[in-house]
């Protein structure tokens, strides 16, 4: 059975980081009982990285699934610096909430045709966040279509429906395209510090009245696992590498032969994708998005090749129930100045219950997300082939030189 604990001992990991980044680097690992997560302190991302530093970060993520580079100085760090850093991991992907498609919002019921038109920041819904707590909380300046703002500074009507008040659904980022997202990362600007709910947390435990945001029909045990979400604004992760490693060898072997059909829109032919992925760097195997309907009502449920849709659901619900067990879970508490990266092939995640309609800075949650596709790059600028960009990145976006050279 493959070992998903970081093979290198914590001491030698510290040595490797000291050699690459200097003696002031702190290494905390793992962050979760499953072996997931490393927190690094003392690494200043306003400076460009050397190829050896990039290589070490890539190696670490390929083993540990999640990496948090804590304590960036937000007086000096910018979203341009953040996006430059993202370029080492892959090509940053323009987010649908930041462009129109055929003149309509792109993040809407699978409308996927039409010319792409990037929206300036002032025209995006999220610009309204700056007037919720004026003089106290505002977005860091940016125009990049790759920056997704995740915040509770907007009213329910202005938030996209994937980020529900009572928590989102378990998913990986953009698994429904033939080349899925490899890493996503948050830069944390504001986190809720209020803990004055009656349970001592930021929010009360949501009252579960129905299956939403999930489809009805999954068993009670799975529904309870799905909805067991943290109450202090943490992002919840499930470690699909540790969950795979914990299965008996014959079941692992069977899962490795399975292909699932993913579709962008109902009625598409879709494409086949392996359920188990092997990390090209570490060789660690993991389940990639083993969820029947990770975006209920937005993207079609997936099907296991050779199974009926009912059998597919039964099979995938069972797998999801395995992955969401507490021993594979990790609730990541965000802190301002954290840059937190996760490998989408090796994890599921979901957003927590979030307080809305806020009127004080202690309740503000403001994070910026970037997602990357394709191969990492040890040096910048990236040398992506324009035809690869055209085929894989919406709007053929690539970070402009003023970002890469910031």
Which residues in 3-42 contact Fe ion (CB under 5 A)? none
CA 7 to mean position of chain CA atoms: 24
The one segment of 78-86, 171-179, 219-227, 284-292 that binds Fe ion by CB under 5 A: 171-179
Answer yes or no whether residue 175 interacts with Fe ion by CB under 5 A. Answer: no
Q: Which is nearer to Fe ion, 133 or 150 (CB)?
A: 150
Q: Which is nearer to Fe ion, 53 or 351 (CB)?
A: 351
Minimum CB–partner distance for residue 348 and Fe ion (Å): 9
Minimum CB–partner distance for residue 23 and Fe ion (Å): 36
Cβ neighbours for 272, distance < 8 A, ≥ 6 positions apart? 259, 260, 261, 262, 305
Residue 60 CA neighbour count, 13 Å, CB half: 30
Which residues in 130-169 contact Fe ion (CB under 5 A)? none
Q: In what order do the strands lie in the sheet with 303-304?
A: 271-274, 259-262, 303-304
Cβ neighbours for 214, distance < 8 A, ≥ 6 positions apart? 169, 223, 226, 293, 296
Minimum CB–partner distance for residue 173 and Fe ion (Å): 5
Q: Which is nearer to Fe ion, 66 or 245 (CB)?
A: 66
When binding is defined by CB under 5 A, the residue of 166, 173, 303, 384 that contacts Fe ion is 173
3-state secondary structure 249-265: HHHHHHHHCCEEEECCC
A 10 A CB-CB count for 213 gives 20
The residue sitting closest to Fe ion, measured at its beta carbon, is 173
Q: Which is nearer to Fe ion, 173 or 232 (CB)?
A: 173
Number of H helices, E strands in the chain: 9, 19
Coil, strand, or helix at residue 6? Answer: coil
Number of residues lying near Fe ion (CB under 5 A): 1
Nearest to 360 by CA among 201, 141, 152, 163: 152
Minimum CB–partner distance for residue 121 and Fe ion (Å): 21
Q: Which is nearer to Fe ion, 58 or 367 (CB)?
A: 367
Nearest to 161 by CA among 289, 265, 297, 291: 297
Cis peptide, bond prior to residue 381, ω within 30 of zero: yes
Minimum CB–partner distance for residue 69 and Fe ion (Å): 19
Minimum CB–partner distance for residue 150 and Fe ion (Å): 9
Minimum CB–partner distance for residue 171 and Fe ion (Å): 6
Minimum CB–partner distance for residue 172 and Fe ion (Å): 7
- What's the CA gap between 302 and 293, in Å, rounded? 7
Q: Which is nearer to Fe ion, 369 or 382 (CB)?
A: 369
Which residues in 214-233 contact Fe ion (CB under 5 A)? none
Q: Which is nearer to Fe ion, 36 or 43 (CB)?
A: 36
The one segment of 13-21, 173-181, 226-234, 265-273 that binds Fe ion by CB under 5 A: 173-181
Contact 275, 255 (CB under 8 A): yes
Coil, strand, or helix at residue 259? Answer: strand
Phi, psi of 256 (to 5 degrees): -65, -15
Minimum CB–partner distance for residue 191 and Fe ion (Å): 17
Q: Which is nearer to Fe ion, 13 or 370 (CB)?
A: 370
Q: Which is nearer to Fe ion, 71 or 90 (CB)?
A: 90
Crossing angle of helices 51-64/10-21, nearest 10°? 160
By the criterion CB under 5 A, which residues form the site for Fe ion? Answer: 173
């Amino acid at each position: 059975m493959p070992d998903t604990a970081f093979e290198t001992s914590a001491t030698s990991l510290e040595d490797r980081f000291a050699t690459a980044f200097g003696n002031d680097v702190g290494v905390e690992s793992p962050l979760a009982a499953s072996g997931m997560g490393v927190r690094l302190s003392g690494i200043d991302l306003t400076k460009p990285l050397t190829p050896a530093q990039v290589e070490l970060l890539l190696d670490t993520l390929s083993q540990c699934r999640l990496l948090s580079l804590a304590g960036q100085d937000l007086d000096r760090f910018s979203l341009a610096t953040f996006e430059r850093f993202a370029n080492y991991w892959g090509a940053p992907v323009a987010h649908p909430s930041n462009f129109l498609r055929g003149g309509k919002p792109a993040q809407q019921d699978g409308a996927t045709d039409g010319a792409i038109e990037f929206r300036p920041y002032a025209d995006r819904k999220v610009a309204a966040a700056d007037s919720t707590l004026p003089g106290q909380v505002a977005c860091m300046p940016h125009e990049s279509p790759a920056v997704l703002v995740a915040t509770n500074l907007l009213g329910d009507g202005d938030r996209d429906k994937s980020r529900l008040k009572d928590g989102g659904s378990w998913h990986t980022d953009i698994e429904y395209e033939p080349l899925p997202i490899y890493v996503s990362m948050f830069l944390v600007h504001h986190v809720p510090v209020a803990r004055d709910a009656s349970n001592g947390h930021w929010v009360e435990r949501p009252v579960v009245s129905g299956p939403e945001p999930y489809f009805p029909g999954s068993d009670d045990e799975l529904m309870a696992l799905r909805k067991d979400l943290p109450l202090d604004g943490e992002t919840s992760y499930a470690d699909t590498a540790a969950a795979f490693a914990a299965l008996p060898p014959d079941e692992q072997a069977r899962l490795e032969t399975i292909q699932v059909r993913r579709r962008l829109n109902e009625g598409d032919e879709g494409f086949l994708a392996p359920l188990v992925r092997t990390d090209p760097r570490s060789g660690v195997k993991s389940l990639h998005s083993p969820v029947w309907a990770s975006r209920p009502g937005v993207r079609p449920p997936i099907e296991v090749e050779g199974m009926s849709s009912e059998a597919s659901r039964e099979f995938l619900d069972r797998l999801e129930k395995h992955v969401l067990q507490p021993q594979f879970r990790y609730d990541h508490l965000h802190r301002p100045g954290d840059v937190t990266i996760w490998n989408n092939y090796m994890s599921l995640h979901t957003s927590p219950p979030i307080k809305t309609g806020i009127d004080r800075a202690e309740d503000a949650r403001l994070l910026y997300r970037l997602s990357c596709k394709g191969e990492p790059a040890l040096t910048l600028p990236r040398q992506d082939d324009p035809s690869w960009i055209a085929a894989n990145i919406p709007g053929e976006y690539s970070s402009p030189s003023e970002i890469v050279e910031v």
